[in-house]
Structure 1
Amino acid sequence: MRSKRHLRKCIVVLAAIGLMWSGANVNRHEVKAETGEASGVFNMSYLFAGGPSTYTAQVDRSGETLDVVSPSYLVLNADGSLKIDDSLQTSFITAMHQEGKRVVPFLSNEFDSAIGAKAIDNNDALVTQLAAAVSTYNLDGVQIDIENVDSAYRDKFTDLVKKLRERLPSSKEVSVAVAANPTGSTKGWVSIFDYKSLAAVSDYLMVMTYDESYPGDPTPGPVASMSFVEKSIQYAVSQAPAGKIVLGVPFYGRYWNGNEADNGAGIPTKMVPTLVSRYGGTVRYDTASQSPVATFTIKDTDTPTTLNGKRLPAGSYTVWYENEQSLKAKLQLVSKYKLKGTGSWSLNQESPDTWNYFHLWADGFYFTDMQTHWAQKEVLAAANLGWMLGVATNRFAPEAKLTRAEAATIIVRALGLDKEKASSAAFLDVSVTHWASQAIGIAKQHGLMQGISDNVFAPDQTITREEMSMLLTRALKLSSPGIAAASKFTDVPAGSWSTEAIAAMSSKGLVDGFADGTFRPGAPLTRAEMAALLSRAQALFAAAK
């Protein structure tokens, strides 16, 4: 990735099987969603814009989306040896570890071919220096980002990565930032990256599927058109396992204003809407490239705007950049090609609302109604585990009420019983063709749920908070701490049939009451609340299997 010091670095869940409403009827059908591992796909991002004093705030804005942050701590001296950048702060590394995030800085030659070549030629010394830095600063690994070096160094470059992998403990990451290669070119500096061999000696390849247009490019165009990005990924997965490929997405755009010196200059995505509004511009979405394009004109008499310490001159501007629509389209490629995850360049350039949807779309769950919902984390966890999916491919309906059939299906899935066969649900209102017939039968066979009478199950009846407490107590095999433990809820009398179940759930921290001291046992349970219960009880489900 070229830096600002050179070229590039500019500044669901209706039930566990997935249900979908069909018109006004209550017909459920599976809603498929491709997912990564149970905890979701891998997400990393670079730290470069701004400064070390703002790094923690930049990461915190992303919430719990990121697994790895990659700051610009490691650079190369003119002789190819390692230099630790002044931006390194051990307090930041400690803070990230406390948040459960790994810190894997990238090693950059700042697009200087001579320096990159010297580093590769002296890889033994460089590997020793990198290993020492990882140990000294308690780093979680290194990402190699050496670019613009002649393809004659192809094998030597791979050898550098191999030696680093052998030198560092297996718990430390060794990854490689590789240039996008949509045409499979064997010429030019992009061919220094032997995807197949590099993937064999590293944890993953961060494919830089951006800079389709570049600094100095005379022709305005997208930073990362969908065709460019997808062809780059197709080449990558033809050379290396998809599970070792990380999709690079840009948080920046490029602008042209008639000044040759500014051709393709970088601009943070977050600035573009402000400039369009300030200068009365327009935005169109280019369907061919699936990229937004902004245009506006700055007059000499207009309020000035400063970018990277430089005042934008008067003129007519064309800006190709990224927005929610274009980023969502790119993120869907993670599921389509079953990639390891995403990498983004770079934090502090994205629009503030990016993190409302990024984790959802990266994980392959396109729930537009979960983008700002309080239970997004819990829904993602349940969906990635396969316990709950969506009411449609683009909707979760978090506030809708959960039914008995849905509850049976979810619990059967969570306990890993869904592969069993039930001879019959044995209820008059649950036919063999009912979408939840097997799950209801399995739940009955295991003593988890019975009907509301001997031969009526009432599959579409809403399940209440106390009924779910009873169901989960059975499923998790919880013992009651005593009736007194439920007395803190003013509306749960000691003689109630659900008192001990509510007490058991409360003692495990799985349920809580409301601010007024009530539990509201007869209140219906929503799908969002069910996802939250599953999240809290995940370890208990594993123990109960």
Structure 2
Amino acid sequence: MIKKYKIYFYLFVFALLITNVSFVSAEERVNMTYLYKGTMNDYKTYIEKTKDSVNVILPNLFNISSTGTVDLTYVIDKQFVDDMHKKGIKVIPYISNHWDRELARKALLNYEVYIKELVKIVSDYNLDGVNIDIENLIVEDKDNFVRFTKHLRESLSSGKTLSVAIAANPSDSKIGWVGSYDYKELDKYVDTFIVMTYDQSYYGSKPGPVAGYHFVENSIKTILKYSTPDKVILGVPFYGRYWNIDEKVGGSAIINASVKNVANAFHAKKYYDEYNRTPYLKFNVNKIQATYNVSGKKFTAGSYLMYYENDKSLKEKLILVEKYNLKGSASWALSQEDTSIWNNYKNWLNARYYNDTNGSWAEEYIKKVTVSGYLNGSDIYSFKPDNYMTREEFATVIYRIQGYSDIIVNGIYKDVKENRWSYNYINTLYSYGIMQGNRNYFYPKKYITREEVAATIYRVLKGNETAYQSKFNDVTSDMWSSKYIEFCVSTSILQGYPDGSFRPKDNITRAEIAALIAKIKGI
């Protein structure tokens, strides 16, 4: 009837006769992690703590000598490699110049000798490939870097993986360190790009997040201009940085595993940067406390800002893997994390975002609206699909699906104060004529009803005047909501019940809203 609304949604609330399906992928995504410090025995201990979440390790084995040849960090333990293989874990050591540009250039110029040695070691110890993590080159080194990568690819036997770690490049810059990567040429030879989406803020920079959400997402968008999602790995940090704002220079690193102790020691106040989707602490250190040691560095007296990663911020980043259908994730570096992250990391990486939606009729819808950012969980770990949705929660969802970037504030509602979390969303929707209250009250905590949902969707989709024709036994043409219900029914957005009722006053669950939004947005 109304062709422009190609929306096919059959919401049978009475029975919800949708097959219970668990949307668990048959093939788990790749989860790599770097191993930087420690012995082989230490590495085994670190890996045990991951709860079988990791399937590729990138140990620090290959350095570059002063003559441009292979310098082994450790004597390789073949038994360690065999043990990892028995666990189903691939061992792909990384080449590092540890930020030394001239050392890297020696390897690039001496590439034939270096690669010959490297390939022999990979073969002798049954390693699964090589990760090139050569950093701090510049544009002038670009061609030599491609030549090195090409020759290594041609020299490695089939079945061995070649990956390149690349710097975050949110603006697709062609200068400086990020300019040393010829993405298009490198894509011809590598199996995987590991995008190091961190160090947005660094030692010497102004205070800020190590890996803000938009910095991370835009860096992914850059490499996808030159490669395909199945070759891209999202790199995430297991560390943060802190600044004494009373000093001119700051930004020293702190591992996530140490943050909780610092917060407790200094009674830090915890915050969450909603724009960058990153947690941070504020705390003061007095002269007496200035002996506190973090990673060998003492705090000086002053006022501190500390940015780090927690479950919430890491989950936000891992959702990007599903959003862009990436190959997987990599982390820097194992042993730096708060080990509680492994309780959920594998599930989040594989788009299993909540502990209470597996097998739900709405599981796939919930996943889609989570990835799109339209509807979040009740908390980080649960969605609570059977809970009813409040009016202010629904207002927030509608604000997001409308894609509003502006905030219009008028303060019309007496029960929505300026300090209320939903204040901006509710007032903006009122200004656009999308969602309204009753006189000067919005009733934000009240559960939203089916007829209120119908009215809001009618306004969102700019529905036309439709005379009431449906024959529900509990809806009459003189009801305020009849035209809204008629529109939503005629466009198959909402349906009634087998007993002939619509139940306009009934509340609606979070799972039903997830399905509704997924269908409206065509996701």
Identity %: 37
Cα deviations by residue, 1:285-341 (Å, 9 ceiling, x for unpaired): 011111111112223334953322333333322111111111111101111111111
Structure 1 residue runs of 4 or more that deviate by more than 4 Å after TM superposition: 20-24, 28-35, 258-262, 387-392, 394-398
C-alpha distance in structure 2 between counterparts of 1:309 and 1:261, whole Å: 20
C-alpha distance in structure 2 between counterparts of 1:304 and 1:248, whole Å: 34
Residue 47 (structure 2) aligns with: 59
* 2:343 maps to 1:356: yes
Write out aligned runs for 1:219-234 (5 A): 219-234=206-221
Contact 1:75 1:109 in 2 (8 A): yes
TM-score if structure 1 supplies the norm length?
0.62
Cα deviations by residue, 1:373-405 (Å, 9 ceiling, x for unpaired): xxxxxx7xx99xxx995694466999xxxxxxx
Instruction: Tell me the secondary structure at the aligned position of residue 225 of structure 2.
Output: helix
The alpha carbon displacement at 1:89 in A equals 3.4
Task: Identify if the C-alpha distance between structure 1 residues 69 and 27 changes in structure 2 by more than 3 Å, giving closer, same or farther.
Answer: same
Instruction: Tell me the secondary structure at the aligned position of residue 187 of structure 1.
Output: coil
TM-score if structure 2 supplies the norm length?
0.64
Residue 75 (structure 1) aligns with: 63
Residue 283 (structure 1) aligns with: 270
Residue 455 (structure 2) aligns with: none
Task: Identify if the C-alpha distance between structure 1 residues 53 and 388 changes in structure 2 by more than 3 Å, giving closer, same or farther.
Answer: farther
Residue 184 (structure 2) aligns with: 196
Cα deviations by residue, 1:244-286 (Å, 9 ceiling, x for unpaired): 0100111100011247586111101121122111211111001
After superposing the two structures, state which structure 1 stretch, 44-53 or 96-105, moved more. 44-53
Task: Identify if the C-alpha distance between structure 1 residues 29 and 348 changes in structure 2 by more than 3 Å, giving closer, same or farther.
Answer: same
Residue 473 (structure 2) aligns with: none
The alpha carbon displacement at 1:154 in A equals 1.1
Residue of 260, 270, 287 corresponding to 1:300:
287
C-alpha distance in structure 2 between counterparts of 1:59 and 1:397, whole Å: 32
Cα deviations by residue, 1:74-124 (Å, 9 ceiling, x for unpaired): 111122211000374334323212211011111001111111111111111
C-alpha distance in structure 1 between counterparts of 2:260 and 2:107, whole Å: 41
* 2:151 maps to 1:163: yes
The alpha carbon displacement at 1:352 in A equals 1.8
* 2:31 maps to 1:43: yes
How many residue pairs get matched? 364
Residue 333 (structure 2) aligns with: 346
Q: What amino acid does structure 1 have at the position aligned with 2:258?
A: M
Instruction: Tell me the secondary structure at the aligned position of residue 368 of structure 1.
Output: coil
C-alpha distance in structure 1 between counterparts of 2:93 and 2:217, whole Å: 27
Write out aligned runs for 1:75-114 (5 A): 75-86=63-74, 88-114=76-102
Instruction: Tell me the secondary structure at the aligned position of residue 132 of structure 2.
Output: strand
Task: Identify if the C-alpha distance between structure 1 residues 358 and 30 changes in structure 2 by more than 3 Å, giving closer, same or farther.
Answer: farther
Write out aligned runs for 1:258-273 (5 A): 258=245, 263-273=250-260
C-alpha distance in structure 1 between counterparts of 2:268 and 2:93, whole Å: 38
Write out aligned runs for 1:377-392 (5 A): 392=366
After superposing the two structures, state which structure 1 stretch, 304-313 or 241-250, moved more. 304-313
Q: What amino acid does structure 2 have at the position aligned with 1:26?
A: A
C-alpha distance in structure 1 between counterparts of 2:315 and 2:270, whole Å: 18
Cα deviations by residue, 1:412-434 (Å, 9 ceiling, x for unpaired): xxxxxxxxxxxxxxxxxxxxxxx
Q: Show structure 2 runs of 5+ residues with no match.
A: 1-8, 368-376, 386-523
Residue 26 (structure 1) aligns with: 15
Q: What amino acid does structure 1 have at the position aligned with 2:308?
A: Y
Write out aligned runs for 1:139-178 (5 A): 139-178=127-166
Residue of 190, 196, 199 corresponding to 1:208:
196
The alpha carbon displacement at 1:38 in A equals 2.5
Contact 2:99 2:135 in 1 (8 A): yes
Task: Identify if the C-alpha distance between structure 1 residues 328 and 32 changes in structure 2 by more than 3 Å, giving closer, same or farther.
Answer: farther
C-alpha distance in structure 2 between counterparts of 1:190 and 1:114, whole Å: 17
C-alpha distance in structure 1 between counterparts of 2:71 and 2:247, whole Å: 34
The alpha carbon displacement at 1:65 in A equals 1.5
